Amino acid sequence: MSAEDKNALLFTAMAVFDSRKGNLENQIKSKTRRFNVKLSPKIFKLAKEYPKKEMIIKPINPLLFYNGLGGFDTLEKEYVIFLDRGVKTSVPWVNIISNPEFGFMITESGSSNTWSIDSYDNRITAWYPDNLLNKSSEIFYIRDEKTGELWSPTPYPLGNDRAYIIRHGKGYSVFEHVYNAIQHKLLMFVPITSKVKIFKLTMKNLGVEPRNISVTGFFELVLGLHREYTKHFLSTHIDEITKTVITQNVLRNDFHKNLVFIDMHNGNCHVTTSREEFFGRHGSIESPAVLKRERLSNEIKYEADHCVGLQTFINLEAGEEKDIVVMLGEGNNIDEVRKLVNIYREPLKLSEAFNKVKKFWDETSLSINIYTPDESLNTLFNGWLLYQVLSSRIFAKAGYYQISGAYGFRDQLQDSLAFIWSDPALVRKTIIKMARHQFREGDAQTWWHDHNGFGMRSVFSDQQLWLPAVVYTYISTTNDFNILNEQAPFLEGPLLDFKNEKEWVGAPKSTKESCSLYEHCLRAINKTINLGEHGLPLIGNGDWNDGFNNVGVEGKGESVWLGFFLYSTLINFLGICEKMNDIEYQDKYSEVAESLRKAIELHGWDGSWYKRAYFDNGTALGSYLNEELKIDSIAQSWAVISGAGKEERQREAMEAVEKYLMSDRKLLRLLTPPLQKSSLQVGYIQDYPPGVRENGSQYNHAALWAAQAFAILGEGDKAKNIIDLVNPINRSKNLESIGQYRIEPYVVASDIYSEPPFMGRGGWSWYTGSAGLMYRTILEFILGFKVLGSKLTFNPCIPKEWKEYKLIYRFGSANYKITVKNPLGVSHGVKSVSVNGKTIKSKEIPLLNNIKTYNIEVVLGE
């Protein structure tokens, strides 16, 4: 046996017995003996020098839309939660804090977990998505060294009966608390360019007597996917130079060379890696055994049930304030670890890093600001929507209810479009990256982990079509036709079909040769032009609605919605084909589009609305003949969005949406009735209870498409009403509505349940494509803002009661201050456009990248 194999065997073994270390009986006794480092129990005496009750703290600034638990601090640009004694949110109210490589999740209770590179595959600390227990893998305890009294700087685990202020900012969270004359402020953030999480605990002695305080941190490390798989294989040591705790998991395929480090108070701390030492045999999170002893043992136990505990001590004179900084990070090697530790041990560097975080997120939302009569709309749009998209969807790829860590082909393409005005380079980069994950045959990888390429190939029929669709939007906005010449390889993998082989999971290889992005788009379109007996696109294993995975199980099912989407993409791509002098495909796509339009009108129309799909056997889905799922919203919305439906049918279809899917005016259901007893085998959608997620909830992505459709038809009041139904602020106005909606008031939900007893309850939040789509729907379809290359146009569709609204658009170095006036109380129709008082007959505003300010006035009336 080689030395390398022997070392690996010794490292992975749960128990090692060595004949050179005595008889077997004694070795067994030694290894089964409980924690045996002898530390004296701490003897505490009650003191009377300082008050026993905490001082009541309240938010300083007035809070907009305060609902009894929280509200928006418009000055600090934070959502502030005030938890008085014993008060809790119904479910965790979370902040997702991330840069492109590193991030963490933090709830209002202080429960948190951290990741690096991949939020799924490379969890630094454990993830506990439990609404009831709300456990945490990162905990801080504070102890008064004179009295032994324990408390925590966050509500979890020891603060349920005490008052806290929680500030969820963009890129950071802060916990404020006063207890026993000690004022606490715990700041958590991730620097923009570093793989490290900063905990900055500031404590101030508000009393008149000196205080001796200890701070103890507990970290439940994973360094992989699940702690139960890795806890025995974590190797920990103390770096001899920085005195930082370093842990490595060498027994994993990915990231095995990476070093996770935890640094407390510049290395001035005691340490343990024994969970048994920390909690004790009968201990608990609320009463850990280690806090009944003087200090941690400073013992590194390799065979222990692993954790990392750190403890430091400080003295606070009366009125004195001190900081304790803790870092949790990852480096590729020891030099990188030491560099990060040394940087953020410097208070000035730490302060600079935090200021850069605030500046980065402020600038992310600075490009466009809106000022409408609806303050809730302004609040959500001017910062929170783009923050949700970038931090959760694009950077972290994670939310409290789902941690993915993976790129989704159609998801990332759609999400990126929210930045088409503020950061078109991000959209361009995303498009080219997604093209690299398209197979030779034209279909795309459904999802994949970027660090190893592992992902899924499937026969969801719509996913590849989002590439040309987003390319069209990008080019029409930026006029950057050069992107079509960008080169990207394809992927190679096992072939699939709509009947037999429907998915493959693995790591495909890239082709050596590359093709232009234009060729990638053509292959995506051609792959989708796979029509069934009704002349409609085959649905495969599902389309936009993944839950329709049994509709085309035999390879013959068809999608009416995909027919609309394909038609729209074909029509939009005709101009691109012309620009590329590709007359052959221009003519072909024109013919296919017309044929598709006729097929939709002939086989898609159901008398009062459009059908949703056809099963393999020709049975219609989304038809009045169905017992359940008689009507589906996205087929109606896309009849309008695509322009494929006849105008009179477009209006009739959207009237059906109002009548059947918005019957109570409080929700816009994805479909109705939800599937419950139907004999139709639609797919895994039927695994959801009625009114939950794709099975008839208000699925916000679909609801926003309906808002777009109403706006296109000139129905401003109806379009805005749907925006209001999606807006989380409107569902969290008071304690009663919070009790119903439950989830965060400051980020968009994926869905809202529509059937008793859970009607009105928010589904999962943060990690949803609805945030980016809502941003675009508000700006383009309600406010009418549209950039076409070097020109800015307006075609609003607003509520008739709006008399005026304003926007500020920062285009390069130029500022465009736009006022839209509605003197006649109409919803749409632009009467005049002026720039700096001069009327523009074309109503097209030239965009100039200079340092000037342009005052734009748009008057509605025609």
| Helix/strand/coil for 201 | strand
pLDDT band of residue 19 (cuts 50, 70, 90) is confident
Q: What is the mean pLDDT of residues 741-760?
A: 97
Q: What is the Cα Rg of the chain in Å?
A: 29
pLDDT band of residue 38 (cuts 50, 70, 90) is low
**Any idea which residue has 């093709």 for tokens?**
515
**Identity of residue 681:** Q
pLDDT of residue 500: 84
pLDDT of residue 48: 47
Query: Which residue segments constitute the domains of the chain, with CATH numbers given?
Result: 3-32 (no CATH), 70-363 (2.70.98.40), 786-860 (2.60.420.10)
| Per-residue pLDDT tens digits for 121-156 | 999 999 998 887 789 999 999 999 999 999 999 999
- Answer yes or no: are the C-beta atoms of 106 and 94 closer than 8 Å: yes
| Per-residue pLDDT tens digits for 69-81 | 999 999 999 999 9
Mean of all residue pLDDT scores within the chain: 94
pLDDT band of residue 381 (cuts 50, 70, 90) is very high
| Helix/strand/coil for 412 | helix
Lowest mean pLDDT among 10-14, 319-323, 582-586, 650-654: 10-14
Q: What is the mean pLDDT of residues 338-350?
A: 98
C-alpha closest to that of 703 among 769, 799, 756, 647: 769
Q: Is 307 exposed, middle or buried (0-12, 13-18, 19+ CB in 10 A)?
A: buried
Cis peptide before 92 (omega within 30 of 0): no
pTM exceeds 0.75 for this model = yes
- Answer yes or no: are the C-beta atoms of 356 and 191 closer than 8 Å: yes
| Per-residue pLDDT tens digits for 621-648 | 999 999 999 999 999 999 999 999 999 9
Six-digit token string for 237: 């040591």
Cis peptide before 796 (omega within 30 of 0): no
| Per-residue pLDDT tens digits for 823-841 | 999 999 999 999 999 999 9
Query: Checking DSSP bridges between strand 445-448 and strand 455-458, what pairing results, if any?
Result: antiparallel
Q: What is the mean pLDDT of residues 363-380?
A: 97
CA dist 783 and 799 (Å) reads 10
Q: What is the mean pLDDT of residues 322-340?
A: 98
Q: What is the mean pLDDT of residues 496-521?
A: 94
- Answer yes or no: are the C-beta atoms of 325 and 311 closer than 8 Å: no
Positive/negative CA dihedral, 509, 514, 515, 516: positive
Beta-bridged to residue 36, according to DSSP, are: none
